[in-house]
């Protein structure tokens, strides 16, 4: 297996980086229009006109990926191809259907469905009813996780994301899924915004494909968990190199190994742990993840 890419969970890369012109699909084959049709765990349509909510249709054409690592994606009709950086979420969310087409349809990203499923299983084992849960979806993006939470029966959900474009996309792509959606960083949010969150009286915090290098650092998930009282649940996934005991230098620099060791030693019980495939990388290898479900003491 190829070495894990340091960028596979989301370090933004510059659009201005020099890049070759030929794109490749997952697995390295040259891309032809309509050639990709992977199963989408989230139910998005794999068609070339991708759109999951109301609004103008966008011709996404075929999706091509940079051949030398996860640097950019290219999309659009043959006479109007556009290229954007692989983890430039603001640009991805701004184009209707593009985020789900790239990560869900082309790369079979399954984290929202898998981790929400692990959370649902924990609720079942604890005898807690999903309809009584009030969930903070940290790093909510365009609403894939919120959609899954509704599917299992949660009816109070607040999203948070750094990107204003994420909130716009959530309202456009998954209208009505979030009761509230805050834009910003939890560690620097104003008192009134924190009051909006605590007013929900959260019973659970989920972070789906949103933690790790290039995404939220430990202080953010720590702050989110701090919004809950005793017995609050959390569910998230991390790259295996972020687990306690990891000697991976990048993993250690994130602070996650130390944070998770402290969390599960002193403040929370681990209810479940699952190894699974987060998604395919553009070179066709599996991007592995570990989902953790815990409960505050």
Helix 144-151 to helix 111-126 angle (10° resolution) is: 30
Beta-bridge partners for 140: none
Nearest residue to ligand SAM by CB is 141
Q: Which of 60, 123, 182, 216 binds ligand SAM (CB under 6 A)?
A: 216
At closest approach, how far in Å is the CB of 109 from ligand SAM? 7
H or E element in which residue 46 lies: none
Per CB under 6 A, the list member of 13, 149, 210, 237 interacting with ligand SAM is: 210
DSSP-based helix, strand, coil % in the chain, nearest 5: 30, 25, 45
Question: Binder to ligand SAM among 74, 113, 133, 161 (CB under 6 A)?
Answer: 161
CB of 49 to ligand SAM, least distance (A): 21
Residue 196: strand, helix, or coil = helix
Q: Is 90 left (phi over 0), alpha (psi -120 to 50) or beta?
A: alpha
Q: Does 185 sit near ligand SAM (CB under 6 A)?
A: yes
160 touching ligand SAM, by CB under 6 A:
yes
| Sites for ligand SAM among residues 109-148 (CB under 6 A) | 111-112, 138-141, 144-145
Q: What secondary structure does DSSP assign to 222-288, as a single string?
A: HHHHTTS-TT-EEEEEE-GGGSTT---HHHHHHTHHHHHHHIIIIIEEEEEEEEEEEEE-TTS-EEE
Show the CA angle centred on residue 204, arms to residues 172 and 123, nearest 5°.
105
Interface with ligand SAM (CB under 6 A), residue from 154, 220, 237, 293? 220
Q: For 270, how many CA atoms within 13 A lie in the half-sphere containing its CB? A: 14
Residue matched to tokens 């989902």: 291
Q: Which of 209, 246, 280, 282 binds ligand SAM (CB under 6 A)?
A: 209
CB of 141 to ligand SAM, least distance (A): 3
If binding is defined by CB under 6 A, does position 158 make contact with ligand SAM?
A: no
Would you say 144 or 233 has its CB closer to ligand SAM? 144
Q: Residue 275 CA to chain centroid, in angstroms?
A: 16
Whole-number Å distance between alpha carbons of 155 and 177: 9
* Chosen residue from 15, 94, 152, 162 binding ligand SAM by CB under 6 A: 162
How many residues bind ligand SAM (CB under 6 A)? The answer is: 22
Nearer CB in complex with ligand SAM: 10/96? 10
Q: Which stretch binds ligand SAM (CB under 6 A): 59-67, 69-77, 215-223, 246-254?
A: 215-223
> Judged by CB under 6 A, does residue 84 bind ligand SAM?
no
Q: How far is the CB of 148 from ligand SAM (least distance, A)?
A: 9
Q: Give the single-character DSSP code of 42.
A: T
Among 25, 84, 208, 289, binds ligand SAM (CB under 6 A): 208
Residues that bind ligand SAM (CB under 6 A): 10, 89, 111-112, 138-141, 144-145, 160-163, 166, 185, 208-210, 215-216, 220
């Amino acid at each position: 297996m190829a070495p894990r890419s340091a960028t596979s969970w989301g370090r933004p890369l510059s659009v201005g980086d020099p890049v070759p012109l030929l794109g490749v699909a997952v697995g390295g084959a040259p891309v032809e229009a309509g050639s990709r049709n992977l199963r989408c765990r989230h139910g998005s349509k794999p068609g070339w006109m991708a759109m999951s909510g109301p609004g103008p249709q966008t011709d996404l054409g075929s999706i091509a990926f940079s051949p030398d690592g996860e640097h950019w994606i290219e999309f659009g009709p043959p006479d109007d191809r556009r290229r954007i950086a692989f983890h430039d979420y603001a640009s991805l969310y701004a184009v209707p259907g593009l985020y789900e087409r790239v990560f869900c349809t082309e790369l079979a990203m399954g984290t929202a469905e898998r981790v929400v499923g692990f959370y649902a299983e924990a609720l079942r084992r604890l005898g807690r009813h999903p309809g009584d849960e009030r969930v903070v979806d940290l790093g909510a993006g365009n609403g894939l996780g919120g959609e899954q939470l509704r599917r299992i029966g949660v009816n109070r959900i607040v999203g948070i994301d750094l990107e204003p474009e994420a909130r716009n996309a959530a309202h456009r792509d998954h209208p009505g899924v979030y009761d509230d959606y805050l834009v910003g960083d939890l560690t620097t949010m104003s008192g009134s915004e924190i009051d909006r969150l605590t007013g929900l009286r959260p019973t659970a915090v989920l972070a789906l494909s949103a933690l790790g290098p290039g995404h939220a650092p430990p202080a953010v998930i720590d702050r989110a968990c701090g919004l809950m009282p005793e017995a609050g649940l959390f569910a998230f996934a991390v790259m295996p190199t972020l687990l306690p005991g990891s000697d991976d230098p990048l993993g250690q620099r994130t602070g996650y190994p130390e944070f998770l060791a402290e969390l599960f030693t002193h403040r929370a019980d681990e209810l479940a742990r699952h190894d699974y495939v987060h998604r395919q990388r553009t070179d066709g290898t599996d991007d592995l993840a570990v989902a953790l479900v815990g409960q505050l003491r």
